[in-house]
Amino acid sequence: MQRARSDSPLLCDLPIRPDFSLEMTARREGHWPVAGTDEAGRGPLAGPVVAAAVILDPDNIPDGLDDSKRLDAKARELVLAEIFARAVSVSFASVCAGSIDAGDIRKASLEAMRRAVSGLYTAPLMVLADGRDVPPGLSCAGRAVVKGDQRSQSIAAASIVAKVMRDRMMSRAGSCDGRYGFELHMGYATVRHREAVTAHGPVARMHRMSFAPFKA
């Protein structure tokens, strides 16, 4: 697996909001189109890890792009609509809890990114991936970008798509089984979630049995 050298930026080097400079650098170097990819759901006790890939139109970049963690749910939904309306191509993919348990969350996250990139209608010539690793198996060049969702608008767009889509999946799971409150905590280890697991046990194919406290 390709491991990128660290390009971790200093806090003072991070832009106030992500911009399009990494994409334009890749374009000048002959790598175009450029896709950004990011994931949501590495830390929860339940549910899939979801990744998205987005190719933005440099002449029609959506307003409000930012790291999904710095936007509230309403803002994410509004920006998501703009991404779908303006982007050249958008794709998302997931890896289920069982597959996470069969390997590990890092591998599952990278595999979800690879699937998302492969699902793009327009094939990119460069992929900017949030984090320290380039997803293995890409059909094009890739670059790992530390804190990419705060530096690249393409990665920020992917982070929003991944987060909203995963939240929708977890909300649907909550409507199917109301004992756990998945629609409220999205599978994270909140007090309510842990109390529900203690009372009812884990849900097959939903909870990540390789995570504590299930692993113990």
Please tell me the CATH code under which domain 12-166 is placed: 3.30.420.10
What does the pLDDT read at residue 22?
98
Helix (H) or strand (E) run with residue 139 in it: none
**How far is the C-alpha of 187 from the C-alpha of 5, rounded, in Å?**
32
What does the pLDDT read at residue 16?
82
What does the pLDDT read at residue 215?
83
What does the pLDDT read at residue 8?
56
Q: What is the DSSP letter of 151?
A: T
Q: Which residues contact 42 (CB under 8 A, 6 or more apart)?
A: 49, 105, 106, 109
Q: Return the ∠ at Cα 23 (arms to 17 and 26), rounded to 5°.
A: 150
Q: What is the layout of strands, in order, in the sheet containing 34-40?
A: 89-95, 49-55, 34-40, 126-130, 141-145
Helix (H) or strand (E) run with residue 40 in it: strand 34-40
Q: Mapping DSSP to helix (H, G, I), strand (E, B) and coil, where does residue 74 land?
A: helix
Q: Return the ∠ at Cα 211 (arms to 208 and 216), rounded to 5°.
A: 120
Closest CA to 40 of 52, 30, 54: 52
pTM over 0.85: yes
Q: C-alpha dihedral over 176, 186, 18, 1, to 10 degrees? A: -90
pLDDT in tens, 119-139: 999 999 999 999 999 999 999
* CB atoms near residue 97 (< 10 Å): 26
Q: C-alpha dihedral over 136, 140, 141, 145, to 10 degrees? A: -60
- Using 70 as the pLDDT threshold, list the residues of the chain that sit under it: 1-15, 216
Which runs of consecutive H residues, i.e. helices, occur in 87-142?
97-102, 105-118
pLDDT in tens, 8-25: 565 556 668 999 999 999
